[in-house]
Structure 1
Amino acid sequence: MFERFTDRAREVVRRARDEAGDAPVDTPHLLLAIVADPDALATRLLAQAGVPADDLRARIARQLDRTAVLGEADAAALRQIGIDLAAIEARLDESFGPGALRRPTPPPRRRGWWRRRQPNHLFAPRSRKTLELALREALHLRHRHIGTEHLLLGLLREGDGTAAQVLREAGVDLTDLRGRVEEAVRAVT
């Protein structure tokens, strides 16, 4: 599938792997990597939707800090019953010091031939789904390539990951953004 990726889309995947570090690449890492290129169509469309790259980076960092200990599903369940994680984190920081809730970062692991990650472990299930959906979006648009705009469409179509949640929290209507992306892609081709 990666042979269809444009140079920019390949760079997004490489950056997403860098963002993830030793963890599997997930949807927020893909979104961070997309907005890292200010000249990409996807980044420009996000900015036009009222979400500048710096704002997205800050929102994703906060979201990743929250879900690092609890997990994405736990954080979502707590939000649904009205528990404000930010208030809890603030109280814990007051009582136990800044960053009390965060997991300590493990030391970097050495990778030899015996410790290399298998390809299916490089990507979390939602990001694998996003990449698959990006391919489907490109095929649907009758494009022979997969660009950053297709990756953004894949993130929007997946719709349940942390990246989509961050976009919703930023006030983005995912359906409207999807329409803007499709319109821009058709105008370019």
Structure 2
Amino acid sequence: MFERFTEKAIKVIMLAQEEARRLGHNFVGTEQILLGLIGEGTGVAAKVLKSMGVNLKDARVEVEKIIGRGSGFVAVEIPFTPRAKRVLELSLEEARQLGHNYIGTEHLLLGLIREGEGVAARVLENLGVDLAKVRTQVIRMLGETAEVTSGGGSKGSTKTPTLDEFGTNLTQLAAEGKLDPVVGRQNEIERVIQILGRRTKNNPVLIGEPGVGKTALAEG
């Protein structure tokens, strides 16, 4: 699943882990995913939530009202709750239904709304948000984005010409569906994401003999 996540969606998961640490919780629930979606700031989900009057400060207050703070000790690896895992599964379903071969922040938000019973849904309702209208707004914004994209126009100069010349943008290739699916490496991919989400020591190193699947993991 994570191999289909866009760069912004990955950032949401990292921010969700940071929110769990901030609250002293040893889990990532739907509420942390919601805070990650808001905190990411530039994706479709963040824009939709902002348009509906949702901000990070108020959302954090509501989350703490509902679940409080933890003991303060947080393990290095923070697992997803069953509801959060369900949100991730639903986000994949939403992407498929929309005909998208990637999972972006918009799909995570749609999965969050569709799950509908977790702390995140309660937080949004407490903030006066109509969950049905969130979905409508996401679909509308995706339609507007598609229209702008189909309008054409030159790409213009890139901000990272040297990096583009010598490197490969795996995130872009994944979004365009140009990478082969990674099978049987879900645990390894989740482990890499957990390492990337750390505050320190967050540089995963893939070591192994040629042909063992290091490139596949990087693409995943």
Q: What's the TM-score, normalizing by structure 1?
A: 0.70
Match for 1:142 among 75, 95, 99?
Answer: 99
Match for 1:46 among 35, 45, 49?
Answer: 49
1:124 aligns with 2:84: no
Partner of 1:15: 15
Q: Give the C-alpha shift of residue 62 in structure 1.
A: 2.0
Q: Give the C-alpha shift of residue 47 in structure 1.
A: 1.3
Q: Give the C-alpha shift of residue 64 in structure 1.
A: 2.1
SS at match of 1:20: helix
**Deviation string, structure 1 residues 106-141 (Cα, Å, up to 9, x no partner):** 5455x6xxxxx5xxx711000000000001111110
Q: Give the C-alpha shift of residue 54 in structure 1.
A: 2.1
**CA contact under 8 A between 1:135 and 1:146: conserved in structure 2?**
yes
**Deviation string, structure 1 residues 83-123 (Cα, Å, up to 9, x no partner):** xxxxxxxxxxxxxxxxxxxx6x25455x6xxxxx5xxx711
**Deviation string, structure 1 residues 146-165 (Cα, Å, up to 9, x no partner):** 11111000000000000001
Q: Give the C-alpha shift of residue 63 in structure 1.
A: 1.9
Q: Give the C-alpha shift of residue 38 in structure 1.
A: 1.8
Partner of 1:177: 134
CA–CA distance in structure 1, aligned partners of residues 74 and 124 of structure 2: 31
Q: Give the C-alpha shift of residue 40 in structure 1.
A: 1.8
Percentage of identical aligned residues: 39
Q: Give the C-alpha shift of residue 26 in structure 1.
A: 0.4
SS at match of 1:36: helix
**CA contact under 8 A between 1:43 and 1:53: conserved in structure 2?**
no
Structure 1 unaligned blocks of 5 or more = 69-102, 112-116
Match for 2:61 among 58, 62, 65?
Answer: 58
Determine which structure has the larger helix proportion and give its number: 1
CA–CA distance in structure 2, aligned partners of residues 125 and 166 of structure 1: 18
Partner of 1:88: none
Q: Give the C-alpha shift of residue 59 in structure 1.
A: 1.5
Return the letter of the residue paired with 1:56. A
Return the letter of the residue paired with 1:13. I
Q: Give the C-alpha shift of residue 52 in structure 1.
A: 2.3
RMSD over aligned CA atoms reads: 1.8
CA–CA distance in structure 2, aligned partners of residues 139 and 39 of structure 1: 23
Q: Give the C-alpha shift of residue 57 in structure 1.
A: 2.0
Q: How does 1:72-151 map to 2 (within 5 A)?
A: 105-107=71-73, 122-151=79-108
Q: Give the stretch that moved more between structures: 35-44 or 50-59.
A: 50-59
